[in-house]
Amino acid sequence: MRPLRRKRVAVIFGGRSAEHVVSLKSARAIMEAIDGERYAIIPVGISREGTWLAGERIWELLWEQGDLSGASRAALLTDPRQPGLLIEEPPAWRFVELDLIFPVLHGPFGEDGTVQGLFELCGIPYVGSGVLSSAAAMDKAVMKILFQQHDLPVGPYLYFYRRQWRKGAESLAEQICGELGLPCFVKPANLGSSIGISRVDRAGELGPAVEDALRYDDKVIVEKALPGKEIECAVLGDLTPRASRPGEVVPCNRFYDYRAKYLDDRSELIYPAVLDPELEQKVQDLACRAFTAVEASGLARVDFFVHPGNGTVFLNEINTMPGFTSISMYPKLWEVSGIGYRELVGRLLELAERRFVRLSERLTAPPE
């Protein structure tokens, strides 16, 4: 009997966003966990400038920030009849058929719906949320508006654009201090990994914090600092999502910033979090509702502020492509919930295929 061909999975990593290095770390762990008997891995790296590249050593070249001139350029073929990848091999291009894509991309140009739209045009199943969900979850202001429409508890916030700040910084600063009060958090609306985020304790810190956020985005969101534990919950599924046991983040700095997440190992991750059963169930229910509110699929990590004393829970944000190293909170939460890293990666690939079949049947259904 002829053995079945292994399905070809393009693992895409790197990218143009400030979370380039985070993407590389996640992708390495995922490629090592993919079942080699079922899947053949095609590594595809995206340089910081946005060039798509392929080759066995492309991960190492991007990690080492080495000379990429000898790497092969790559491009997805936007033809659903021939789902695959074109790899440059002068004087021609070689075609590689693809069955699945695992986009391990964080931030703009990877997690915001842009690359998901490309996958849709190519007609290739991919891990994670679709165009609408990815875009909505990436924009923290739009995300919170959707949460509010679904009666989910969010803390006080406001947002504005660069042009508004340039024309009326003083009045906006007064509005922030008057409506939200201090301390507050100033963030780029479209970014992750706590890049560009500042905690503001005094009015004089507000201007520099906004200017720092504007380095990364044209839109800024300001959130009132909320009391309580920083609790995270992982979600897995599609139309009927399932939540993991929650975990707690105890940052080593004033808040869980980029340094505390990736450079300083003094932050503490507690999984599962110490919450009474009723409060834990409340967090899990809200996590699934947040997942549904933005129409997410595959995976997401939902972040909360939880006050154990009075049971108050505020939903902070949802991340549709969370960090995925072997020590990241998302896989660790599933590990304590009974799903190991390797099994988790396999389930995500299976969910991607199921979602693709479901949506394909909808698109090809004859008119009534």
Exposed e or buried b per residue across 54-84, where buried means at least 16 C-beta atoms within 10 angstroms of its C-beta: bbeebbebbbeeeebeebbbbebbeeeeebb
Catalytic-residue membership of 323: yes
Q: How many separate domains does the chain show?
A: 3
364 in a structural domain: no
CATH number of the structural domain spanning residue 212: 3.30.1490.20
Find residue 318's DSSP bridge partners: 302
- 265 and 200 belong to one structural domain: no
By C-alpha distance, which of 48, 69, 44 is closest to 58? 44
**Residue segments in the chain with a per-residue pLDDT below the cut of 50:** 1-2, 255-258, 260-264
Q: Per-residue pLDDT tens for 329-340?
A: 999 999 999 999
Q: Which of 133, 323, 330, 341 is catalytic?
A: 323
- 255 and 236 belong to one structural domain: yes
132 in a structural domain: no
- 45 and 18 belong to one structural domain: yes
Find residue 92's DSSP bridge partners: 89
- 257 and 332 belong to one structural domain: yes
77 in a structural domain: yes
By C-alpha distance, which of 323, 347, 26, 22 is closest to 11? 26
Pairing of β 157-161 and β 184-188: unpaired
Residue 364 has what pLDDT?
A: 56
CATH number of the structural domain spanning residue 54: 3.40.50.20
By C-alpha distance, which of 192, 180, 292, 156 is closest to 237? 292
CA distance linking residue 231 with residue 314, whole number of Å? 10
Q: Per-residue pLDDT tens for 51-103?
A: 999 998 999 999 998 889 889 999 999 999 999 999 999 899 999 999 999 99
Residue 266 has what pLDDT?
A: 56
Residue 193 has what pLDDT?
A: 53
CA distance linking residue 161 with residue 336, whole number of Å? 41
- 237 and 337 belong to one structural domain: yes
- 214 and 285 belong to one structural domain: no
Domain that holds residue 239: 137-153+227-357
284 in a structural domain: yes
Show the CA angle centred on residue 88, arms to residues 87 and 90, nearest 5°: 150
CA distance linking residue 334 with residue 332, whole number of Å? 5
Q: Which of 26, 319, 328, 337 is catalytic?
A: 319
Catalytic-residue membership of 319: yes
- 246 and 201 belong to one structural domain: no
- 147 and 268 belong to one structural domain: yes
Cβ atoms within 10 A of the Cβ of 365, count?
8
Residue type for position 223: E
Q: Which of 8, 14, 19, 130 is catalytic?
A: 19
- 148 and 286 belong to one structural domain: yes
Whether 234 contacts 333, CB under 8 Å:
yes
131 in a structural domain: no
Structure tokens at 229: 């534990």
Catalytic-residue membership of 301: yes
- 181 and 250 belong to one structural domain: no
367 in a structural domain: no
